[in-house]
Amino acid sequence: MEKVKIIQTAHYVPEMVVTNDDLSSMMATSDEWISKRTGIKRRHISLSANTSDLCTKVAQELLCASGWQASELDLIIVATMSPDAYTPATAAIVQGNINAANAFAFDLGAACSGFAYAFDVASQFITSGRAQKVMVLGGEVLSKLVDWEDRTTAVLFGDGAGGVLLAPSTDQAAVLASDLRTFGQEAAKLSAGVNPPLAAWGEVNPRTISAFAMDGHAVYNFATREVPASLRRACHQAGITVDKVDHFILHQANERIIKVIAKRLQLPMERFAVNISEYGNTSAASEPILLDELVKQKQIKRGQIIALSGFGGGLTVGTQIIRY
């Protein structure tokens, strides 16, 4: 079986920045409340570019930085909960934009675990020999799913995209383990874009799309319980203990959640990079954005062990252990 390697990372965020003070002038909130409860100071918001546009920028940087030709790609997966449309898939639009004529492309929906799920699916295509050169993107324009009058969710989310190129590994770099779990009985704890059927025949289609609705406490408890468990299972599968992981790249939903996870694993916060202050929660984009920042800052080095872990809507959790 082929081993799988991360060849290249990239990310892109829209230029426009909305600060906590900007939000305080729109709703009954404050920089103090948002910073203390979440660690968020700013978020980037996309006004006219949609999810496929953000993903296309990342795709172009991935190709440019790696030297790969678009025509060499076999597969493109976009993890997103804020696609441009139900159809065409955002991944198909990206495939067309970059002219990756030999790649098949599809979207994957697992909310904030989307990148971890897509990463695993992409890895399976490579290990099975079905694909050699794969692009995995996580992209979100969550601002279009936010009720900007609901302070309980509006302050949390931001827009952005990130991604990786994956290929068979010919050296020590390898995906060592993956753990995906879904808790569908808790599906109602986090929703957005709910799309009900017609209530009666002949009814005019109302075409409304619902905004984020979240039981914050339930998701908080879920994340602080299930992410450490998933990390432990994945490390066990990889034949290591959690203390052997050099960098934990966790979904950036709330800095407090990350601190509790570090504490439950009895590991120092230094191993848990945090960039939520700049971007807020960008769902499927948050892990690849953080991964790319750490790679570019040369904090992650080849040979080190990294853990990627996402959690959120579904409810879902997903973890990879990777020798980078």
What is the binding site for ligand ACO (CB under 6 A)? 29, 33-34, 37-38, 111-112, 151-152, 155, 190, 216-217, 219-220, 223, 253-254, 257, 281, 283, 312-313
Residue 48 has a CB neighbour count (10 Å cut-off) of: 6
- Of all residues in the shown chain, the one whose CB is closest to ligand ACO is 312
| Residue 187 in tokens | 């599906």
| Closer CB to ligand ACO, 28 or 204, in the complex | 28
CB of 211 to ligand ACO, least distance (A): 12
| Closer CB to ligand ACO, 34 or 295, in the complex | 34
In single-letter form, the type of residue at position 206 comes to P
CB of 100 to ligand ACO, least distance (A): 28
| Closer CB to ligand ACO, 95 or 309, in the complex | 309
CB of 177 to ligand ACO, least distance (A): 23
CB of 263 to ligand ACO, least distance (A): 16
**Mapped to the 3 state alphabet, what secondary structure does 158-194 carry?**
CEEEEEEEEEECCCCCEEEEEEEEECHHHHHHEECCC
| Closer CB to ligand ACO, 152 or 172, in the complex | 152
Q: What angle do CA 178, 181, 182 make, to 5 degrees?
A: 150
Q: CA-CA distance, 320 to 116, in Å (whole number)?
A: 7
Q: Across-strand partners of 162?
A: 11, 138
| Closer CB to ligand ACO, 125 or 248, in the complex | 248
Nearest to 289 by CA among 301, 276, 307, 302: 276
Q: CA-CA distance, 54 to 305, in Å (whole number)?
A: 29
Preceding amide of 197 cis, omega within 30: no
Q: CA-CA distance, 124 to 109, in Å (whole number)?
A: 17
Nearest to 113 by CA among 195, 52, 173, 181: 181
| Residue 15 in tokens | 């230029």
CB of 33 to ligand ACO, least distance (A): 4
Q: Which residues are catalytic?
A: 112, 251, 281
